[in-house]
Structure 1
């Protein structure tokens, strides 16, 4: 019992020290990169990569968290779409260090942050206005296509937000829309970073983070086939890496079993208890199924099947308006 308490105390101390050092390092690089606003974007990205490598060094020295990159040789030269699993903040700066000339698809609000937003603009990141509906997809695709034609790798997190390790997949069709319109190969990326850098926690755990680059998916597949293929590849590899990481350490919390989906052709999402459910969407699904413990599938609730009409001036972008689909 005493040994376990000492281990936990050291974990907290190291995590606290790392967080202080990490954000101090971030502020330092925000200052150092300011003159980079006057240089070409490719030169500016070299400075961003130095910040990413310095953050990985701090993580290794203070916490004892190492990084292993697998399949780096599978990254094709030139433009590509990179579809990565998203479990923590770790991969947002680590992916920059392993790609030649990367940029991100991100929500527009990040561009409004003083100084930091200027750097995102300088890096050529592609902002997405989630409130603009189909028009946002049209604008996102045009910007992403322009960057990919210059030989850049477009990084997108298909689930749109960080997901805890082992959580049911919640992929959005934006990645399939981009794949269909860009005409470049897609590089799936699996990882287990959430074990060592949990989302919404200050704890950082020691061990070896594994980021695995999977076989590229060539362009030209039908959108539905691609969407199924990229999800299966990323989820199967991420589950394997998750089991590998948990097997190497007994300090991780037990893995939560993934509930089966009643409709395998749709994306499965969990239903929360009524007390934690939203007023619409999840709450309605729970009532319609009669049990909050049963997983619901997108599109089950009839009240959510109505597709809103586009506002005046909104472009359709040649999208599939099938019910139950979320693009961004």
Structure 2
């Protein structure tokens, strides 16, 4: 365990170092190449993280299901930074609904702006939802795969947290197909630990949901499908979720 912890520290250190390298070296591509250039640089970094996780800590990664390639909404489970990496490395033109504070994060904030991410001030609640909807419909960078974490935050493996209405509002307002996404990455990449565990981290894209459902029916469906699939992936990884779950 001590050796794995040391490997994890090395992995995390180089991950942040390479974030700065990719961001600075790739900035001319990101700026001059527009959104496509920024996406190229960001996806390159995501692939680096996946490769280095495998080499340094034995954490392999896999994408399952049909990867969305058109203009769709992706409603995903969020357990750690690694599911962000996996999803963005898979889709061709991804952009995230993200918390506003990340706009001011060095390197991350730069590319979030360049690829068209939509910042949300979660403290404002109702106004935040309205602003999110307006930005999604009238944003400067329309098109591609809009990714929202349906529970509104990272959720530890095995924890049960309600799904937020934001995903349902986007589904209704945009009138787009929604692709739910499940994951088990929190089993190997815990929220509040430096330790990275070996194994197979998976993001699975589930069958698409066509537009037209009532908001309540849609929310019930994504919660059931994402939680069921995520629990199955975690069980595959050796993590058994209690029937009643636990608090985050």
The Cα offsets for residues 227-254 of structure 1, whole Å up to 9 and x where unpaired, read as 00000000000000110101xxxxxxx6
Unaligned runs of 5+ in 1: 1-7, 247-253, 261-268, 273-328
Go from structure 1 to structure 2 and tell me whether the alpha carbon gap of 1:30 and 1:217 turns closer, same or farther (over 3 Å shift).
same
- The equivalent position to 2:24 in structure 1, one of 19, 22, 31, is 31
Correspondence for 1:318: none
Following superposition, the deviation at residue 48 of structure 1 comes to 0.5
Counterparts of 1:150-189 in structure 2, within 5 Å, are 150-189=142-181
Count of aligned pairs = 247
Q: TM-score, normalised by structure 2?
A: 0.93
Q: Is the 8 A contact 2:151 2:161 kept in 1?
A: yes
The runs of at least 4 aligned residues of structure 1 exceeding 3 Å deviation read: 146-150
Q: Is the 8 A contact 1:15 1:204 kept in 2?
A: yes
Matched residue SS, 2:96: strand
Alpha-carbon distance in structure 1 between the residues aligned to 2:139 and 2:207: 22
Query: Please, which moves more after superposition, 39-48 or 95-104?
Result: 39-48
Matched residue SS, 1:72: coil
**Higher relative contact order (CA closer than 8 Å, sequence separation 6+):** 2
Correspondence for 1:14: 7
Correspondence for 1:40: 34
- The equivalent position to 1:65 in structure 2, one of 59, 62, 79, is 59
Alpha-carbon distance in structure 1 between the residues aligned to 2:63 and 2:123: 36
- The equivalent position to 2:242 in structure 1, one of 257, 261, 265, is 257
Q: TM-score, normalised by structure 1?
A: 0.71
RMSD value over aligned CA atoms?
2.0
Alpha-carbon distance in structure 2 between the residues aligned to 1:147 and 1:219: 21
Following superposition, the deviation at residue 109 of structure 1 comes to 1.2
The Cα offsets for residues 14-48 of structure 1, whole Å up to 9 and x where unpaired, read as 11221121111112112113222233112210111
More helix by share: 2
Query: Please, which moves more after superposition, 174-183 or 131-140?
Result: 131-140
Unaligned runs of 5+ in 2: none
Q: Is the 8 A contact 2:47 2:89 kept in 1?
A: yes
Matched residue SS, 1:55: helix
The Cα offsets for residues 191-222 of structure 1, whole Å up to 9 and x where unpaired, read as 10001111111101111111111000000100
Correspondence for 1:195: 187
Query: If you compute each CA radius of gyration, which structure gives the higher value, 1 or 2?
Result: 1
Correspondence for 2:121: 129
Correspondence for 2:226: 234
Alpha-carbon distance in structure 2 between the residues aligned to 1:162 and 1:97: 19
Alpha-carbon distance in structure 2 between the residues aligned to 1:215 and 1:148: 29
The Cα offsets for residues 290-316 of structure 1, whole Å up to 9 and x where unpaired, read as xxxxxxxxxxxxxxxxxxxxxxxxxxx
